[in-house]
């Protein structure tokens, strides 16, 4: 939803969006920080508080709508994207947010996920990826790393995990960003970008499940390792990262590679400059795929391209048909074609 700054909207604060319900996530769960970030983002969008709808599926993350004082639906497992599609198509004035988890959107709701992305319906999808089924108490999910031991993989999983970013780009997605639950500033910035984007925005939030999959994102989250294992992509800036800001990404043949600036004749000039608006999704896909420890995890907005949205295209057609159709009322339709008087 393009942030429309409307003058008659009273200044909103975080408190306008807090619901009266007790938040029941486990202490230490990454969801608390995400909730707090969303509460910070909504008042900044210039949208009336009545014009937000928060739609979820099933899972720990999907309790989210109950904790937001907006319109909302806590749906059924996997179907948040489909329910939200209906809400947005029916009323395009609403800013519709989908809250989903890796089980909800990558497994049972995988089909709806790729199709909503393909259609480019103007929704903001926050995908909480903790790589585990939390609400059902600890089974592996479609994003669990290969080999992980869980209740349903006592000998380690032997399934390949999905990378949500690759799915988004493969489904012709127009917006994909990644952030992490222990960096509120980054979360807020990325969510603001997602809100601004017209089309389906997918934000993967690396989220920690303190009970069933603690520290699953440790390499990119811990104070000691994160600088060398994540890179914050910023449009128009070279892809430089590391504790000492001396590492960079270059394209070597058809592969991405980490290099050290100042070594082997490498200068800042050799480092790729991030272009989030590039129509060609090739490099975006490679960036989304980068995995530590070989390559740093790409954070921030990876892809943001402008395409017509489903809801705009439909509304334009409706306006056009209203002007051109010979049927102005339903009576006109009923009496059209072959009729005869008795």
Instruction: Please report, as ranges, the residues that interact with other proteins according to CB under 8 A.
Output: 19, 21, 48-51, 53-55, 58, 65-66, 68-76, 79, 82-91, 93-94, 111-112, 115, 314, 317-318, 320-322, 324-325, 327-331, 333-335, 337-342
* CB proximity list for 60: less than 8 A, separation 6 or greater: 25, 29, 31, 101, 128, 134, 135, 209
Q: How far is the CB of 90 from other proteins (least distance, A)?
A: 4
Does residue 317 contact residue 89 with C-beta atoms inside 8 Å?
Answer: no
Nearer to other proteins (CB atom), residue 47 or residue 302: 47
Q: Which is nearer to other proteins, 94 or 191 (CB)?
A: 94
Nearer to other proteins, 4 or 93 (CB): 93
Rounded Cα–Cα distance for residues 40 and 59 (Å): 23
CB of 317 to other proteins, least distance (A): 5
Distances (CA, A) of 65 to 96, 175, 306: 12, 23, 29
Rounded to the nearest whole angstrom, what is the least distance from the CB of residue 10 to other proteins in the complex?
11
Minimum CB separation of residue 20 from other proteins in Å reads 9
Contacts 24+ apart (CB under 8 A), 239-242: 239/271, 239/272, 239/273, 239/274, 240/268, 240/271, 241/296
18 half-sphere exposure, CB direction, 13 A CA radius? 9
Contacts of 246 (CB under 8 A, 6+ apart): 240, 260, 261, 262
CB of 287 to other proteins, least distance (A): 27
For other proteins, give the closer residue by CB, 118 or 235.
118
Nearer to other proteins, 83 or 231 (CB): 83
Strand blocks (E) in 210-305? 230-233, 240-241, 247-252, 255-260, 297-304
Shorter beta-carbon distance to other proteins: residue 77 or 196: 77
Distance set, CA 128 to CA 51, 191, 324 (Å): 23, 13, 45
We find the least distance from the C-beta atom of residue 328 to other proteins, in angstroms, to be 8
The distance of closest approach from Cβ of residue 67 to other proteins in the complex, given in angstroms and rounded to an integer, is: 9
Residue 341 CB, nearest approach to other proteins (Å): 6
Q: Is 78 left (phi over 0), alpha (psi -120 to 50) or beta?
A: left
Count Cα atoms within 13 angstroms, Cβ side, for 11.
0
Nearer to other proteins, 251 or 318 (CB): 318
Find the length of the chain: 342
Q: How far apart are the first and last CA of the chain?
A: 54
Strands 255-260 and 247-252: antiparallel
Q: What does the alpha-carbon distance between residue 18 and residue 39 come to, in Å, rounded to a whole number?
A: 7
Cβ-based nearer residue to other proteins, 96 or 203:
96
Q: How far is the CB of 320 from other proteins (least distance, A)?
A: 8
**CB of 54 or CB of 249, closer to other proteins:** 54
């Amino acid at each position: 939803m393009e942030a429309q700054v409307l003058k008659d909207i009273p200044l909103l604060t975080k408190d306008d969006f807090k619901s009266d319900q007790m938040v029941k996530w486990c202490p230490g769960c990454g969801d608390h920080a995400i909730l707090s970030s969303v509460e910070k983002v909504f008042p900044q969008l210039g949208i009336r508080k009545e014009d937000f709808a928060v739609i979820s599926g099933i899972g720990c993350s999907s309790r989210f709508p109950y904790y937001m004082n907006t319109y909302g639906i806590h749906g059924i497992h996997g179907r948040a994207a489909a329910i939200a599609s209906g809400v947005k198509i029916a009323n395009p004035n609403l800013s519709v947010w989908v809250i989903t988890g890796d089980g909800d959107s990558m497994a049972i709701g995988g089909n709806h996920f790729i199709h909503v992305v393909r259609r480019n319906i103007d929704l903001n999808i926050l995908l909480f990826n903790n790589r585990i089924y939390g609400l059902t108490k600890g089974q592996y999910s479609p994003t669990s790393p290969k080999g992980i031991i869980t209740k349903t993989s006592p000998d380690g999983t032997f399934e390949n995990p999905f990378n949500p970013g690759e799915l988004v780009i493969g489904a012709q997605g127009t917006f994909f960003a990644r952030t992490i639950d222990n960096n509120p500033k980054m979360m807020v910035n990325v969510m603001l970008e997602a809100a601004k984007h017209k089309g389906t925005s997918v934000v993967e939030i690396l989220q920690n499940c303190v009970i069933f999959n603690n520290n699953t994102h440790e390499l990119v989250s811990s104070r000691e390792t994160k600088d060398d294992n994540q890179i914050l992509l910023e449009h128009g800036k070279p892809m430089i990262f590391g504790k000492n800001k001396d590492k960079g990404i270059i394209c070597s043949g058809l592969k991405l590679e980490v290099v050290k600036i100042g070594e082997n004749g490498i200068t800042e000039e050799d480092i790729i400059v991030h272009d989030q608006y590039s129509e060609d999704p090739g490099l975006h896909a490679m960036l989304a795929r980068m995995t530590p420890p070989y390559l740093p995890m790409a954070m921030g907005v990876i892809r943001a391209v402008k395409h017509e949205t489903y809801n705009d295209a439909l509304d334009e057609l409706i306006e056009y048909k209203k002007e051109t159709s010979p049927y102005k009322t339903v009576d006109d339709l009923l009496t059209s074609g072959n009729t005869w008087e008795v």
